[in-house]
Structure 1
Amino acid sequence: MTEKNERFEVTNDSQLNWALGKYKEHKIQFDEYDIQAEESRKILEEKYNSELYGIEQRRLKLQAEEQKEMDYFKGLAEQYYLTLETKNPKKTINGSVRFSKKENVSYDDNLLSELKEKGLNRFISVKTKTIESVDKKALKAFVKDGGQLMSEDGEIVEGFKFDKTEEFTVKV
């Protein structure tokens, strides 16, 4: 048997009121789904963030423990390396150790104006007519380990420090 569903039509104010009431019921339910989804999202986000925080804290703790162990074994390797007559890199199947030179260069913001003031233009790099900067390469070449920069009249130029250190490195 075939039934034909007829489409309802609003033909008066009473039917309009009924249709708007049904619309309102569905709108309330529609909005309720948004509210429920948002509440669920917030709960999951809080749980997720809490779990992430816990994971991050555990990672940091474990890495600190591993770093402590690595430092211990690096110290053992360094003690042995220092007993060797030559300080050439030492290689084994598991890795290598050596002392590597590290250059530490630092200067403050006033160095450029101080270099100009003391007539040390050879340490100033001119990029354009209006843009100048400190020529770090020229400074490093001129100043030796732990040394200081001095003007022609023997006055120390403040704001620049350059030194070389040796650092024990392990590569695995």
Structure 2
Amino acid sequence: MELNEFLDNQEQTNQEGFEITDDQKANWALRKIGQYKDRQSEVNATAEAETEKIEAWANQENDKAQQSIDYFQGLLAKYAMKQRAENPKFKSMKLPNGAIRFRKQQPKFHYSDDQLIDYLKKSERDDLIKVKESPDKSAVKKAFTVNEDKLINTETGEAVDGVEIEHRDETFEVVSE
């Protein structure tokens, strides 16, 4: 018999109709919560180990399938290049199970943001630079005073627009070891 089972038997408790009426029963309930949290950790560890195995298997199978896909795409590309060599206007071919085609692509731009921003500033093209503004919420809390559900600017006495204060009830929490 495990220690926890022994202690449960000693306290002769069951969950149905159980009521906490003293410190001993409260301590027992905290011990039970700790046991269930340990069980959750065990279950999560097992699930994580199995998930890793399943993901490894899926990656292995997907890699095999991707190798085959790449192989057949290579064969199709070779066939399409042959078709284009025979007919320079060849762009695409529809077949019952899909299509092969050549597509023009738009140019791809590679930016160095810092260098580009420096250039735009030197060229006086600030209109091409984005500036993101956001309030410093921590500083706002410190700079103004709470009055019921409003934040008040103490210098002017006016309510600060854009801030609503929600007063919340206290919460109950159980801290188990």
The offset of 1:133, in angstroms, is: 4.0
Structure of larger gyration radius: 1
Tell me if 1:81 matches 2:86: no
TM score, norm. by length of structure 1: 0.52
Matched residue, 1:90: 93
Count residues with an aligned counterpart.
Answer: 104
Q: How does 1:130-169 map to 2 (within 5 A)?
A: 130-133=126-129
TM score, norm. by length of structure 2: 0.51
Q: Between the two proteins, what is the percent identity of the paired residues? A: 21
Q: How does 1:96-135 map to 2 (within 5 A)?
A: 96-102=99-105, 103-109=107-113, 110-114=115-119, 130-133=126-129
Alpha-carbon displacement from aligned partner over 1:117-136 (angstroms, at most 9, x marks no partner): 5x6x8xx6xxxxx54249xx
Name the Cα RMSD after superposition.
2.5
- Residues of 2 paired with 1:69 and 1:91: CA distance? 21
> 5+ residue gaps in structure 1?
1-21, 125-129, 135-172
More strand by percentage? 1
Are the structure 2 counterparts of residues 61 and 52 from structure 1 closer, same or farther at C-alpha, using a change threshold of 3 Å? Answer: same
SS in 1 for 2:90: coil
The offset of 1:37, in angstroms, is: 0.4
Matched residue, 1:33: 32
Alpha-carbon displacement from aligned partner over 1:22-62 (angstroms, at most 9, x marks no partner): 72332232112101101100000000111111111221111
Are the structure 2 counterparts of residues 28 and 96 from structure 1 closer, same or farther at C-alpha, using a change threshold of 3 Å? Answer: same
Bigger relative contact order (CA 8 A; separation at least 6)? 1
